[in-house]
Amino acid sequence: MKLVECVPNFSEGRDQEKIRAIVREIEAVPEVKLLDVDPGESTNRTVVTFIGTPAAAQEAAFRAIAKAGEAIDMRTHRGAHSRIGATDVCPFVPVSGVTMEECVRLAEELGARVAGELGIPVFLYEEAARKPERRNLAAIRVGEYEGLEDKLKDPRWAPDLGPPVFNPRSGATVIGAREFLIAYNINLNTRDRKLAHEIALSLRESGRAKRDKAGNIVKDARGNTVKLPGRFKEVKAVGWYIEDYGVAQISVNFTNYKVTPPHVVFDEAVKLADKLGLRVTGSELVGLIPKEALLMAGRHYLGKQGKSPGVPDEELVRTAVLSLGLNDVSPFDPDKKIIEHQFRPSGPSLGRMTLREFANELSMDSPAPGGGSVAALCGALSAALSSMVANLTVGKKGYEEVHEDMVSIAVEAQPLKDELLSDVDRDTQAFNKVMEALRLPKTTPEQAADKDRAVEEANKGATLVPLEVLEKAVKAVALSRTAAEKGNRNSVSDAGVAALAGRAAGHGAYYNVLINLPNIGDEKFKLRVRRQAERLKKALDRQAAAVARILVKSLQAS
């Protein structure tokens, strides 16, 4: 699922009714989940965190900004925190299935709407910045709200969106896109804060002050402190002592975990601690973490053990939690700590059924789930079998030359399996949308036209899902071919079954594409889809036939 996080900061931290009014606007948007509301009395500021699908998160942000514009009067606002508007800042953060470019687009679209509909000047910052000097939020905030009217008169500080007209009630809003910030602590077997900070100085990007032989801080010609850079980019760190735990910690903020992930810093902290006679006992996650950061750690530690990282996500997360010692000072619950787990669609799910429950549901007199869902399930089983064959090959004597090929298959098969499992539900959901569209009223000409459009779009959706399953089935059978060619000889029959299951998935999806096409009026769409389906089916059959030849040759020789 495509998910983004949004973290708007509002210039109100004391009036609970105003805060609740803003939050209600966010909660009212479907496909959005509120994660946290953090008001500060002295700062007179509230930080709200929510996640949702991209379009829903953008809509929730707009409604919240609009409500803040009504509820907050910046002419009377006082607080300790820097700010320039009722909604001071509103960043979008990619969580899963979303690129930074998409978040930048969300920021730009939201900014255009805020400027155009609400009359609030908008500055774009971080990854959405249109000028280098505006990447830094602090630079945009210089002068704060009190200096904003004069600042807008300076052509160099014309807003990125909207005219340079001062809005005395709402001020201005800074909207942007940034990476997820991970707050993380590494635990040491000491209470000495200085030792923890010594390690932090080596880890963090800003490093430490350079000192001469006498221990004095070295200054440059302008009197500025000369710095020795630390080891890791996008990392901030300090050492501190936590009385509640009775241990010193290296407190780390990862401003871009894709550049430097937590497990890399953890491993280096272990080495540096050892040099100081210390031991890292584990680590602690503060707040939430993107699932991918834990998957990266799981793959890393399995690789160090000489094992295949091509295992289910749940096993990668378990490996990461154990390897990083995330249970050291408090229990680590993936369902509470992984941000994607906070947004799981409610309602019935075929994927959460037992095998017997699914088979029973399938056997009833309702048309869904049906062949499309079964086709997707066959594809998932195909990918899972190929991963099994690859994992049974990795590390086995005599298969050293194909190690990388097998690891690649195992890793590639896991997300393919997960996508096809999701398609089991998606196919049924697509069929249900067709049925919902067919039940729409058509009493008036307008209603009839709306119904026709809805039925057309629903039928297209019901066609595209099995088309995607067919495309994935081709990939699944291709994986089974490599597994049959190079994998463990004792599992060649499993690779053969993977190919058969993948071929069944593809043919089943192909049939579902064909049966839906006559219900669509868009002839160009129909022609394009039919040609694509035919091409994919031919590729599928070629791959499946190649696997069959490999199996015949292998089994006859045994």
Q: Which residues are catalytic?
A: 81, 427
Q: Report the candidate in 541, 393, 551 with the shortest Cα–Cα distance to residue 470.
A: 541
Measure the CA angle with vertex 330, ends 324 and 335; round to 5°. 75
Q: Report the candidate in 330, 245, 319, 323 with the shortest Cα–Cα distance to residue 287.
A: 330
Measured distance CA(487)–CA(156) in Å, rounded: 63
Query: 225 and 209 in contact (C-beta within 8 Å)?
Result: yes
Radius of gyration of the chain (CA): 28
> How is the chain split among helix, strand and coil, in percent rounded to 5?
55, 15, 30
First to last CA, the chain: 45
Query: 246 and 170 in contact (C-beta within 8 Å)?
Result: no
The owner of tokens 């495509």 is: 2
| Phi, psi for residue 299 in degrees, rounded to 5 | -65, -40
Q: Residue 119: CB partners within 8 Å, gap ≥ 6? A: 162, 165, 167, 170
> What is the DSSP-derived secondary structure letter of residue 134?
G
Q: Residue 553: CB partners within 8 Å, gap ≥ 6? A: none
The owner of tokens 């006992």 is: 281
Kind and range of the H or E element at 41? none
Give the bridge partners for 52, in sequence order. 4, 32
DSSP assignments along 312-332, one per residue: -HHHHHHHHHHHHTTTSSS--
Query: 479 and 383 in contact (C-beta within 8 Å)?
Result: yes
Query: 415 and 475 in contact (C-beta within 8 Å)?
Result: no
Measured distance CA(24)–CA(20) in Å, rounded: 6
Q: Report the candidate in 43, 70, 83 with the shortest Cα–Cα distance to residue 172.
A: 83
Q: Report the candidate in 273, 284, 299 with the shortest Cα–Cα distance to residue 197.
A: 273
Query: 84 and 146 in contact (C-beta within 8 Å)?
Result: no
Q: Is 277 helix (H, G, I), strand (E, B) or coil?
A: coil
Measured distance CA(529)–CA(533) in Å, rounded: 6
Measured distance CA(47)–CA(61) in Å, rounded: 13
Q: Report the candidate in 350, 484, 513 with the shortest Cα–Cα distance to residue 420.
A: 350
